[in-house]
Each structure stands twice: as structure tokens, then as C-alpha cells.
Structure 1
Amino acid sequence: ADNSAACVIKGEVDSISSLPDVILQHILFSFETKFAIRTSVLSKRWRHVWCNIPSLSFDDIKEADAINKALAKYTAPKMMDFHLKINKNNNVHHIKKWIEFAMSRNVENMSLDVLFRCKNIPRFSDINSYFKPLNHKLDFSDVIPGHGVSWTSLKKLSLRYCGLPDESAKILSGCPILECLTLYHCGKLNVLDLSKSLRLRTLEINSHIMIPGPTQIVAPHIHCLKLRNTQLPCTLVDVSSLTEAEVLDIIIFPLNMSLKADFLYATMLEMLKKLENVEKLTFSGGSLQNLSSIAEKRGVPFPMFKVKALTLKMEHFVISDIERMLQNSPNLKKLTVREKDNTRQGKYLDRHFARLESGSMVEIKR
């Protein structure tokens, strides 16, 4: 014990502290930013190590002063990622300054989450020309300037809780090379027209039972479509370039109970017809069961698919539904079944699929 104390008094360093800065910064890169910053109190050796890590994330810091102090000490000339989650109204007037700081470090990926509704978000017109990150994420419509944007280098955009009935066209026209668009709970966006987004390749829409998503989707240039918790009716007006689709948890019974069940069933079948030519398809177990149920109740044939790779994400499943899907996918080369839980049913999947002609291509992941 005395020897250990003597080592500390003499200022001897441990084996980790003796590593080069570049290695220590690589280690701190995997830490949350707040923990990386706290390493500065370990010793004089550690005081400035965190200041050159390539990523900063402030997702639960309530006081702007803490962020300002951290940025004042930050010395990295190049930043890979910068994430801000603003959860106090009195921090709003700092946003522009923080974004400009990230821009000055040539940030590649930036996200901004505003966790409250506020009418005082600063206008972005002054910094539109500086937007060069490949990925930008905004929360709430109040963050988005009504006069439009000019994000000419932006390739990825994510929007949450945004009411965009009129502003969407302005935003998308200001992102001419946008390749990936993700929407979370954008309930007021009834018609999503992406026909002028010529470079857009991936569209992801995450809805909620209380916040329905678009009822019409016009996206002739996308190659990949991901729909989660889609509430019917939802019409795929034009997805003619689609090669990959993911359909998870279609909600048949909407908030608008005046809609007739037959109409909703017909809408779902019509939507799935638009997916007949995709080569890579992912279904949830619930969506597959709904599809089987609709085909039986309406007395219509189960849709045919040209899919080559099929993934089923199952929580509860019926083997007959899976068999029907396989029978109606004559070009199928690979089936992947992903279990949400290691259920008792799942333990017998291998035995069930062994009876199928296509059993040799089945992959089960738990």
C-alpha cells in the first residue's frame, strides 16, 4: 500500500495514460461526450486529451453554459459528428452559434433535436450556404424556415413531428442532391410528392397509431421504401423504380372509424400490388397475417411477388401464412426469419421448414 501511494506522489503514470494521444482519443470516441469530458480531471496528462476527439454529442445537457465551455476547449480541426438535443427553451438563442461552430470544423454529420415547441428558433438563412454535412436531422416544424432552404450538399435528411403540408416542397427543392429522406410522425403531411427529388433513393416513413402518416406517396425515383406502423389508407401512387421494400406493422383499423373495412382491405391489396416487382422484401409477422386474412375474407388470391430475398420479422407467426408467401414467390432464392423473441414456436421452425420444397434456403436468426 505504501509503495502504491509513493507511486502516486511521485507522479508515475499508469500504462493507459502512457499511450499516445491518438489511441486515447480513439478510446474516448466510444464514450458519451459528457464522460469523455470528465476524464480531464483524472490528471494533468488527461486534461486536454478529449479536446481533439472527432465527435461531440450533447443530448442531455440542460444548461447552455456547459456546452459553451466544452466548445471553447475543443481543438479538433475536423469534426465527424455533431449532435445537439435541446430540451430547455432558454437555450434556443445559442443554436445558431453552436451550428456555426460545427460548420467551422467541416462537420460531416450533424443532427439537431428540439424537444419542445418554440416559435423563437433562429432563422437559418444566414448559414444556409454553410450546410455541407452529408447528414442533417431536424425535429419539429418550428426549426424549418418557411422561406425555404439552400442545402445544396445535403444527402440525408431526417424530420420528426413536422407539419409540412406546404413547406415540404420548399425544403426538398433546396436539397437538390438529397438521397435519403426519413420522416418520423409527420401527421400533417397527407400527400408526399417526391417526383422532383431526382436523386432520392431511400424513403423511410415511421408513423404512429395516433399520428397517421401520408395517405398518398409519389416517389418515382426511390429504390428503397421503408414503412413502419403505416395506417391505412395509404396509396403508393408511383414507386415505379422500387427494388427493395420493408413493410412493418400495417394498421388496418384507423382513428377514422367511418372508413369501411372493405375499403381498407382493398387499399392494402392495392398497396401491396405496387410491391410485386421488388427483389428484396421485408415483412413483419403482423403484416403477413393481415395480408392472409384479407385474402381469405375477400375471397381474392394471395398476391404474387417477384421477390428474390424475403425477410420475415416475426413475433407471433402462423406457419401456413409463411408457406403461402413462399408458394406465391416463385423467384425466391433466400428466406430469412428473424424472431423477436426466442419463442417456443421458433424452436420448431426448422422442422416445419424442412417439409417445404424451399427449406434448404431458410435462415433463422434469433
Structure 2
Amino acid sequence: MAAKKKVETCSINSLPDEVLGQILSLFPTKLAAATSVLSKRWRNLLPLVQNLDFDESMVFYPNRASETIGDGGGFLDFVNRTLGLLGDSPIKKFSMKWVSPIDNSQYNHLIRNVLEHGALELDLSSTSIQCIMPEFFFSKTLVKLTLSRGSYDQDSHPPDGVLFPALKTLSLVQVSYGTFGWGDLYDCLLDSCPVLEEVNIFAGDPFDAGGWRKHIWGSTIQRITIFYRFYDLDAHSLVGLDTPRLVYLDYSSYVAEDYQCQLDSLVEARLDLILWKYNDYIPPVDEYYGYDSTKGDAWGDATKLVEAIRNVVTLHLSADSLEVFHCCCESMPEFNNLVTLSFESHEERDWQVLPLLLRKSPNLDTLVLKGLVHKYTKGCGDVCACKRVRKKRKKKISCLLSCGVKVLKVYGYGGSCRELKQMRHFMENLRCLEVVKVQVQVDKQDKKYTDDLMKLLQTASSECKIQFI
């Protein structure tokens, strides 16, 4: 009879403190703090939790009026008690989300306490107004700061002109500011973070300007992401990007009236610029905002912005951006460094600017299309297969014939007659093609569609290959 194997069991309490600390870090801070009353073994483990996440909605219970009505003191007391259990232990990331009003003095002391623990990341989210005092808002260790959905006031200049000497990432999400004399928190953050590398602005509420002053500056900033959809034309009068070391730009907004940009080092750009005619909210005349939509469908001028990105290596354009390039640019620069051009298609947006854009990109190697169906116009005939046949007129030579694109990628291929015709047009005229990569729509993944595309090889170069991705 075979001997029974001895099964070794291991209690969670027998694990090393460092391992238990990592486990607690995976739980909401409320639960992690509650473990301190479980047993003597768990009583001193909270200081090992370096990521603290406080959410007022998780601490209070909506059906208990005594806990939810007031000035937020109950929530603040819980946060302070938890911080007290940490002792002198360092904090890696501190996140706090709340809605109840909190006394500014207590709030500032709380933030000071967190930063004195050597926090690397600070994430504050609140719909209430907070006044941040500079003597409390200072840290030599903070690397990442996120402020969300609140109004942040400041009434004096920071000590020594510097708030965060180590801050590299600043994110502002639907934030507004008050101004008192010398300036506001937005100006202060850009001026007093000497090693700032990344700025993220999100102001998606069309009725709230929020987020920024339409101007970002800094000699160390390398990455910028902007999403700004405020409906006021006056708020889009001028956009400034004074960032000579910027390498990556992701910009989504209505087209501005003018731009002032210094983007000498830009490598990659993602643009989602929208014509104001697609803003259904704007009436003919608005007495409150003072704008008049009768200025025309092509209000705005993106010429300086397009000129500023002329050195990019990779360019991504939304379907709306294609129309802005066509309607709101007085001239098109030479994109001599452009290697990869990616753009989206939409059945209600046209391709009119593409012939000019391709001619201005002599070193283009890869062309990426997200969809093929677009709005028909006479101007896109150079690159489009849906052009009408004109009798008694000499056929116009397609700009694709002189285009050096070697790789064509198509996403969202649906297999319609129009799409197949457009694919044939590309493969017949892009004479340098080596590889065509196609992603077929999930509901169109039928052998018929792949067979139709494979037949197109007969019209392309003998060296061209089709790959399905």
C-alpha cells in the first residue's frame, strides 16, 4: 500500500511581512486599514502599504444620513487616522476622491502631511472649491500630479518660485482656477516645475472652459495631450505651444482662430481638429458668449499649426482634421521627414486635402487608413476611385503614381464594392508597394472578402504581398 503523501499547508499569516504588504496594496485602502484590528499579526502591516486610495463614496454609506451630511469632516478624519497608522513610512501614491466640502485649513494640512511622507504620485479629485496654500503645496519628491474636477485657488506666490523640483507629469482634468493678483495655479505649475516632461489637459465639458489658458510653455516638456471641447469661439482665439523640445503631441479641439507654436523637435503628432460648422449648439447669434456663427463654415486658421509640425516623422489625422487641413490652411508645407501617415475616414468627411498632402510628403513610406468610405468630392479624385468620368476631358494623372509608399495598411475593411474598388485603385497606382496589410471587420470575416482581395494581386506589383491582420 502506497504511503500517503504528506500535504503541507501554509497559512497566510506565515507569509513574510513584505508579501502581506503587497497583498494589502491590491485592496481598497478602507479594507487595508480595517485589517489592523484583525489580529496582532496584521496590526503593524499597514505601513507596508505604499499605495493609498481614498474614495468618499466607499467610506460612507448613502443610507446613513449622519455620515453623509456635514462638511466632510468624517471622511477627513478617516484619512487622517489612516495616515497616523503609517507612522514615518513612505507613501508611493496617494489618491483621494471626495464631494463633501472640506475646511481649507484641514485640507492643506492633510496635503502637507502626505507630501512629507515623500509621495511620488498625488491624485486629487473633487467637485468642491479648494484653496491651496503654497507653503503646504511643496514637495522635493513628487513626480506625478493629477488634479481632477475641482476649482483650485491660490492667493500668494510659492516659496522660492518652485513647488515641485522633481515633477515630471502634470495632468489637469476639468479643472478651473481662481486668480488673485500675481496669477493662478495653472501659471504657477508651469513656471515652478523645472523638470516637467509631460502635460495632459482634459476639458471635455462643452459648457466649461476649464483646464488651461490655451497656452503651454516649458523648455523641458516632451509630451502633450490636449482634449478641449469648449463651445465658446472667443476661447479659441489663440492657442500657444511654446515647447521647443516637444516630441509627441496629441491635440483634439475645435480649430482655433490662430496658433503660435514652437515645435522644433516634434517627432509624432495626433491631430483631431474640428470645423465649427459641426458644432450644432452654436446659434446664429449668442448674446451671452458674443460669437456669431455667420463667420462661415471655415472659421479658424490652422496654417501656423500645420507649418509648426512640418518636421514630424509620424502623423495621425482624424477625418475632421482632413477637412480642416483643406478648409483652414492657406498653404501646405513640405513634410520632408514624414515617413508614416495615418488618417481616419468617415462617410460624411472628404479626402480633398490628400492629393496635396501626399505630394508634399516625398519620403512617405507607410500609409495607414482607418476605413475607406468617405464623402465624395471632385477634389479627392487623385487618390480616390469614386471620381466621376468626365467626357471629352483628358484623364488626370493620379498623384499616387509618384508616391513612394511601400506599406499600405487598411483597418476596418468591409468588403463593399466601393471599398474593393478603392483597394484596386491603390494597388494599381502605388507602384512601389511591397506589402498590403488588411484588417477585415469582425462581421465581414468571410472567405469571399479575402479571395476578392487576393485577386487584386494581379493588378499590383509582382513583389507585392497581402497580409491579413
Verify: 1:331 aligned to 2:349, yes or no. no
Residues 64 and 91, structure 1, Cα contact 8 Å, conserved in 2: no
How far did 1:227 drift?
1.1
What are structure 1's unaligned runs of at least 5 residues?
Answer: 1-11
Query: What code does the residue aligned with 1:111 have?
Result: D
Query: What code does the residue aligned with 2:209 have?
Result: G
How far did 1:81 drift?
1.0
Structure 2 partner of 1:187: 209
CA shift in 2, pair 1:58/1:364, >3 Å: farther
Give the Cα–Cα distance (whole angstroms) in 1 for the partners of residues 201 and 99 of structure 2.
21
**Scaled by the length of structure 2, what TM-score is found?**
0.59
Verify: 1:109 aligned to 2:121, yes or no. yes
Corresponding residue to 2:227 among 206, 209, 228 = 206
Once the two structures are superposed, the pairs formed by residues 112-261 of structure 1 within 5 Å of their partners are 112-118=124-130, 121-124=131-134, 126-139=135-148, 142-149=151-158, 150-151=162-163, 152-159=165-172, 160-163=174-177, 166-167=183-184, 168-185=186-203, 187=209, 192=215, 194=217, 197-210=218-231, 212=235, 215-223=238-246, 224-228=248-252, 230-241=253-264, 242-253=266-277, 255=282, 256-258=291-293, 260-261=295-296
CA shift in 2, pair 1:199/1:301, >3 Å: closer
Give the Cα–Cα distance (whole angstroms) in 1 for the partners of residues 190 and 350 of structure 2.
43
Deviations 1:126-178 (Å, cap 9, x if unpaired)?
Answer: 23553430122334785342423322332222334234784354443222222
Residues 108 and 132, structure 1, Cα contact 8 Å, conserved in 2: yes
SS at match of 2:276: coil
CA shift in 2, pair 1:240/1:65, >3 Å: closer
Give the Cα–Cα distance (whole angstroms) in 1 for the partners of residues 437 and 262 of structure 2.
29
How far did 1:95 drift?
2.0
Query: What code does the residue aligned with 2:191 have?
Result: S
CA shift in 2, pair 1:164/1:68, >3 Å: closer
Deviations 1:44-102 (Å, cap 9, x if unpaired)?
Answer: 64454444122112133562122122212225722221122232113543322222222
Give the Cα–Cα distance (whole angstroms) in 2 for the partners of residues 361 and 284 of structure 1.
21
Verify: 1:271 aligned to 2:305, yes or no. yes
User: In terms of mean alpha carbon deviation, does 185-194 or 240-249 score higher?
Assistant: 185-194
Residues 353 and 359, structure 1, Cα contact 8 Å, conserved in 2: no
User: In terms of mean alpha carbon deviation, does 274-283 or 328-337 score higher?
Assistant: 328-337
Query: What code does the residue aligned with 2:121 have?
Result: N
Once the two structures are superposed, the pairs formed by residues 79-94 of structure 1 within 5 Å of their partners are 79-90=91-102, 92-94=104-106
How far did 1:192 drift?
1.6
User: In terms of mean alpha carbon deviation, does 50-59 or 139-148 score higher?
Assistant: 139-148
**Scaled by the length of structure 1, what TM-score is found?**
0.73
How far did 1:42 drift?
6.2
Give the Cα–Cα distance (whole angstroms) in 1 for the partners of residues 104 and 81 of structure 2.
17
CA shift in 2, pair 1:235/1:243, >3 Å: farther
Deviations 1:235-280 (Å, cap 9, x if unpaired)?
Answer: 3312231332221252533643346226526x13443233222112
What are structure 2's unaligned runs of at least 5 residues?
Answer: 1-7, 60-71, 283-290, 372-410, 442-469
Residues 308 and 331, structure 1, Cα contact 8 Å, conserved in 2: yes
CA shift in 2, pair 1:322/1:42, >3 Å: farther
Residues 215 and 232, structure 1, Cα contact 8 Å, conserved in 2: no
CA shift in 2, pair 1:353/1:68, >3 Å: farther
Give the Cα–Cα distance (whole angstroms) in 2 for the partners of residues 365 and 19 of structure 1.
50
Corresponding residue to 1:59 among 52, 55, 72 = 55
CA shift in 2, pair 1:329/1:104, >3 Å: same
Deviations 1:269-293 (Å, cap 9, x if unpaired)?
Answer: 44323322211222223333x2476
SS at match of 1:147: coil
How far did 1:301 drift?
8.1
Cα root mean square deviation, aligned:
4.1
SS at match of 1:332: coil
Give the Cα–Cα distance (whole angstroms) in 2 for the partners of residues 263 and 77 of structure 1.
58
More RCO (CA 8 Å, sep 6+):
1
CA shift in 2, pair 1:240/1:128, >3 Å: same
Structure 2 partner of 1:9: none
User: In terms of mean alpha carbon deviation, does 275-284 or 302-311 score higher?
Assistant: 302-311
What is the identity percentage for the equivalent residue pairs of Structure 1 and Structure 2? 20
How far did 1:30 drift?
3.4
Query: What code does the residue aligned with 2:126 have?
Result: V
Once the two structures are superposed, the pairs formed by residues 32-71 of structure 1 within 5 Å of their partners are 32-38=28-34, 45-60=41-56, 61=59, 63-71=75-83
Residues 178 and 200, structure 1, Cα contact 8 Å, conserved in 2: yes
Deviations 1:305-336 (Å, cap 9, x if unpaired)?
Answer: 44223444677697967975666544334455
User: In terms of mean alpha carbon deviation, does 158-167 or 67-76 score higher?
Assistant: 158-167
